[in-house]
Amino acid sequence: MTRPGTGPATGRLYGVGVGPGDPELVTVKAARLIGAADVVAYHSARHGRSIARSIAAPHLREGQIEEPLLYPVTTEATDHPGGYRGALDEFYADCAGRLAEHLDAGRTVVVLSEGDPFFYGSYMHLHKRLAPYYPAEVVPGVTSLSAASAAAGLPLVEGEETLTVLPGTLPGDELAERLRDADAAAVLKLGRTFTKVRRAFEDAGRLADASYVERASTDRQRVAPLAGVDPADVPYMSLALLTSPADRSFTAPAPARPRDAGGVSVVGLGPAGRPWLTPEAQDVLASATDLVGYGPYLDRVPANARQRRHASGNRVEADRARHALRLARDGARVAVVSSGDPGVFAMAAAVLEVAAEDEFADVPVRIVPGLTAAQAVASRVGAPLGHDFCVLSLSDLLKPWDVIARRLTAAAEADLVVALYNPSSSRRRHQLPAARDLLLEHRSPETPVVIGRDVGGEAESVTVTTLGKLDPEQVDMRCLVIVGSSTTRVTGRGAVYTPRRYP
């Protein structure tokens, strides 16, 4: 073939693996490229039936140009002057020339390949001839070897083992020698070579360990011990497997149940949604047998039929902790869920307090941190927590207001940035106005204030205002309020930050 043109009209070549036979094993990328191609080419014997095309058929569309590439010989003799190899070389050169005409015309050409294009695939012979002159891409596919291993339910290799892949066309003595020393092996291209291949397994002393798989992943799939297969029934689309010796010697114990190792993990879910969940927390939630928590927080964890869920109200922390510890004492692996970080105004302290009772002395408790609401709100506006800060809850359900007032006054006098949790609720409306007035005794009315509501959730809103203009009516229980220090600044871009240096 002469060197093809590479002008501006040059098309693109794709070698696309369509897998071993099951159309559902065609990759998403392969299906997209097949459907979009101008030209679809495929190999077949002289009968014209192409396995690759039959696999790809659901993704073909009307109007596509099809290029059947019919082998001049397969297993029979040939009178070509160059023999079998010469006949195929001439065939591949002719096929490459036909596809080059499409590529020169700017057409996208997909060459279908059963299995993977570069795993004993005919496409590779076209790739060698065309890729130097045209943009070419290979899309891998599931190999017959992978499909056969899956069909047999036998791992190919594990650990430090090696896998040997052999064509059945090798001389029998060479096959036997390689099989004798192999950890695991696959012999492809059976059919007329089967008798020789089986004898090689026998000579290598490996016949009893070998399996036979034909037409893997199709509705004509067959799996059998290699020793019992009739040579007369063996098609070309079959292979022999010698799988992992570790798998053959392994005796599986009964599956261990997670309840064998009880304990409690108090898990921080972050402020909202999976993106705020740490990988450690995700792993603990996935491995738990039981999930315990306040109902709305528990609803944030995807349901798993393997797990038991124990939801409760918001004001029964001690009862919830005791229930979790009793489950763990009986062998359950319990995750107690908490919004934000479990150690910040949340369930960690409640669980540890109950766990100190003699009844639970032997129950392990682990705290799994989470992103706090203060961090989440701060991140939305910049770095208001960039210098010393304190965190206070305005809820007086568990501590009296005079304690809250003294702490607010101390924080204001110390010129700390203050993050206010539980700033307001339907029944607690006086705390935030009172806190604002206390802070104004020591802060300028121009002190920046950030109000974050439902940060990370669907109703997220973030407002930057000042202490003098802070309107308590804009704040509810789903909010967190950050009050800056004397050094906190708002930039022209609206970012809020507290410098690391203090004057």
The whole-number pLDDT of residue 2 equals 46
With a threshold of 0.85, does the pTM exceed it? Answer: no
Neighbours of 278 (CB within 10 A): 16
* Whether 385 and 463 share a structural domain: yes
Picking from 14, 11, 31, 12, the residue whose alpha carbon sits closest to that of residue 139 is: 14
Query: In angstroms, how far is CA 232 from the centroid of its own chain?
Result: 45
Residue-wise DSSP of 41-61: EEEE-TT---HHHHHHGGG--
The whole-number pLDDT of residue 8 equals 58
Judged against a pLDDT cut of 80, whether residue 7 lies above it is answered with: no
**Would you say residue 285 lies in a domain?**
yes
* Whether 385 and 359 share a structural domain: no
pLDDT in tens, 217-227: 999 999 999 99
Domain limit, last residue, from 368, 395, 430: 368
pLDDT in tens, 84-99: 677 788 999 999 999 9
The whole-number pLDDT of residue 1 equals 43
CA distance 127 to 130: 5
> For residue 451, what are its two tokens?
């109000």
Mean pLDDT of the chain: 91
* Whether 310 and 417 share a structural domain: no
The whole-number pLDDT of residue 86 equals 75
Fill in the DSSP letter of residue 71: -
* Whether 153 and 131 share a structural domain: no
* Whether 94 and 173 share a structural domain: no
Q: Which helix (H) or strand (E) holds 280?
A: helix 279-287
* Whether 123 and 161 share a structural domain: no
**Would you say residue 6 lies in a domain?**
no
* Whether 402 and 493 share a structural domain: yes
* Whether 377 and 340 share a structural domain: no
**Would you say residue 253 lies in a domain?**
no
Number of structural domains found in the chain: 4
pLDDT in tens, 258-310: 555 689 999 999 988 888 899 999 999 999 999 999 999 999 999 899 999 99
**Would you say residue 166 lies in a domain?**
yes
Domain limit, last residue, from 92, 125, 141: 141
Contact 427, 315 (CB under 8 A): no
The CATH number for 427's domain is 3.30.950.10
* Whether 173 and 91 share a structural domain: no
Range of the domain at 173: 145-246
CA distance 445 to 442: 10
**Would you say residue 311 lies in a domain?**
yes
* Average pLDDT of the segment spanning 219-242: 93
**Would you say residue 288 lies in a domain?**
yes
* Average pLDDT of the segment spanning 365-386: 95
**Would you say residue 5 lies in a domain?**
no
CA distance 390 to 414: 10
**Would you say residue 203 lies in a domain?**
yes
> For residue 289, what are its two tokens?
């047998």
The CATH number for 314's domain is 3.40.1010.10
* Whether 241 and 358 share a structural domain: no
pLDDT in tens, 161-210: 999 999 999 999 999 999 999 999 999 999 999 999 999 999 999 999 99
* Whether 315 and 350 share a structural domain: yes
CA distance 191 to 237: 7
Neighbours of 225 (CB within 10 A): 12
The whole-number pLDDT of residue 78 equals 65
Domain limit, last residue, from 141, 168, 191: 141
* Whether 345 and 294 share a structural domain: yes
CA distance 336 to 343: 12
Report the percentage of the chain scoring pLDDT > 90: 76
